[in-house]
Amino acid sequence: MRRKKTLLLTICLYLLSGVSIATAGEPPRDTAQSPLHFVEAVKEAMLRMAVVEPFCDTQQQPMPVATGVFVTEDGGVITSIAAVAGAKEIFVKRLHEERLSARIKAVDQTLGFVFLQTPISVETPIGTASGSSEPGEWVLVTYATDTQTEGKHEMDIFPAVISSTEATARFSGRDFDSMIKLAAAAPKGSAAAPVFNSRGLLEGVLVATRECSKTSDCSYVLHADELQKVVENLKAGRSNRLGWIGIAIRTLPGRDAGVEVAAVMRGCPADEAGIEAGDIILSINERRITGPAALKAVIGEFPPGQKVELKIRREGELEKFDLTLDPRPLSISTPCPVKRDDDSRD
């Protein structure tokens, strides 16, 4: 994977004595402001970032740390769903403070964000940019790592160039316009990381990295203005959940239609509707399924509770199955619970 004109800066945060910077490579020559200038600009903003520490169980078996951003004064944090999915306990801390317990308040599964409520007060959340930077300008993707120095998590800063401020990207069946597109693949583990401009203001939050050509990847950032709309819903406890039928699938080599059901999860909608491993899903609500991506996109367009019709080929015969979508679990590896009359899931 090729990365052009990028520089990795590792920032080791010590108590309150300041920031120690280690650089690798030469700073970019085609920008008026150096990465060191950037670091000074974002240093204060970084103190309003959050380190998210999820644990697999109550014995505190650690999972990889994640990056969060404080978005409300009463301790609301935005981070990546993937980072906390399956966690039994979640802790959040500011970079120089002790960690405190957090809980999931709401999720946006289309963008892959989760809103964590913490008891941490933040006088002023990170300042946001008014209007996007221009294509060709440099920004910094800033994210937490598992590496620690003197008990403090290190922060990595990844500079990237904006290639577009009007990019369109599709997530879970929905098109998002006016995305910020970065001409580089953001590092692994930086999902939902804040992206700062040269003034230390929040340009947006990283959503995903995708292949842009045969030789390079690019990253998509949700602009701070659009992020604020998402935050308002999540802060109010309004989740954006995707539909789910509860199957594992595999592609059909040499065929341009349908996906094969590899496994059916017990208690999920597909199981209750009678779908079996080996069935070929041809369409959903008359929408043709051409492969795994099409299946995910079509299901993603429907909310939980939506009734859909699946057209299936089973042993050469065409059959139809009706089912009602469940909310998609945060962790796909988590089996669906068996439904009960008192099931209060959202």
Query: CATH number of the domain that 55 lies in?
Result: 2.40.10.120
Residues of 51-86 as b/e, b for ≥16 C-beta within 10 angstroms? bbbbbeeeeeeebebbbbbbbbeebbbbbbbbbbbe
pLDDT for 235 equals: 94
pLDDT band at 49 (very low <50, low <70, confident <90, very high): confident
In a domain, 345, yes or no: no
In a domain, 336, yes or no: no
Region 170-178: what's the mean pLDDT?
85
Region 74-100: what's the mean pLDDT?
89
Higher pLDDT, 29 or 75: 75
In a domain, 196, yes or no: yes
Q: What is the pTM of this model?
A: 0.79
What are the CA-CA distances from residue 296 to residues 10, 59, 217, 301 (Å)?
37, 35, 22, 9
In a domain, 322, yes or no: yes
pLDDT for 42 equals: 75
pLDDT digits (tens, 9 = 90+) for 112-162: 999 999 999 887 666 677 666 889 998 989 888 877 776 667 778 888 999
189, 204, 238 — which closes off a domain? 238
Domain carrying residue 225: 1-238
Asked if 215 and 253 sit in the same domain, the reply is no
Asked if 49 and 159 sit in the same domain, the reply is yes
238, 253, 285 — which closes off a domain? 238
Query: For the chain, how big is the Rg over CA atoms in Å?
Result: 22
Mean pLDDT, all residues of the chain: 80
In a 13 Å sphere around the CA of 329, the CA atoms on its Cβ side amount to: 17
Asked if 174 and 302 sit in the same domain, the reply is no
For residues 194 and 96, what is the distance between their CA atoms, to the nearest angstrom? Answer: 18
pLDDT band at 35 (very low <50, low <70, confident <90, very high): low
Asked if 216 and 262 sit in the same domain, the reply is no
Asked if 133 and 248 sit in the same domain, the reply is no
For residues 96 and 299, what is the distance between their CA atoms, to the nearest angstrom? Answer: 43
pLDDT band at 282 (very low <50, low <70, confident <90, very high): very high
* Alpha carbon 243 to chain centroid, angstroms: 17
Nearest residue to 210 via CA among 151, 243, 253, 163: 163
Asked if 81 and 150 sit in the same domain, the reply is yes
CATH at residue 303: 2.30.42.10
Asked if 128 and 15 sit in the same domain, the reply is yes
What are the CA-CA distances from residue 288 to residues 97, 194, 315 (Å)?
52, 38, 19
Asked if 99 and 11 sit in the same domain, the reply is yes
Nearest residue to 80 via CA among 65, 91, 94, 93: 65
Asked if 213 and 250 sit in the same domain, the reply is no
Is 264:246 a contact under the CB 8 Å cutoff? yes
Asked if 285 and 219 sit in the same domain, the reply is no
Looking up tokens 């970079």, which residue turns up? 95
Asked if 283 and 155 sit in the same domain, the reply is no
For residues 295 and 244, what is the distance between their CA atoms, to the nearest angstrom? Answer: 11
Strand partners, 67: 51
Q: Percent of the chain scored above 70 by pLDDT?
A: 79
Asked if 155 and 190 sit in the same domain, the reply is yes
Looking up tokens 């079509």, which residue turns up? 298
pLDDT for 305 equals: 94
pLDDT for 5 equals: 39
In a domain, 346, yes or no: no
In a domain, 340, yes or no: no
In a domain, 182, yes or no: yes
In a domain, 143, yes or no: yes
For residues 178 and 223, what is the distance between their CA atoms, to the nearest angstrom? Answer: 8
How many separate domains does the chain show?
A: 2
Query: Which 3-state string (H, E, C) describes the chain?
Result: CECCCCCEEEEEEECCCEEEEEEECCCCCCCCCCHHHHHHHHHHHHCCEEEEEEECCCCCCECCCEEEEECCCCCEEEEEHHHHCCCCEEEEEECCCCCEEEEEEEEECCCCEEEEECCCCCCCCCCECCCCCCCCCEEEEEEEEEEEECCEEEEEEEEEEEEEEEEEEEECCEEEEEEEEECCCCCCCCCCCEEECCCCCEEEEEEEEEECCCCEEEEEEEEHHHHHHHHHHHHCCCCECCEECCEEEECCCCCCCCEEEEEECCCCHHHHHCCCCCCEEEEECCEECCCHHHHHHHHHCCCCCCEEEEEEEECCEEEEEEEECEECCCCCCCCCCCCCCCCCCC
- Residue 333 tokens read as 């590896």
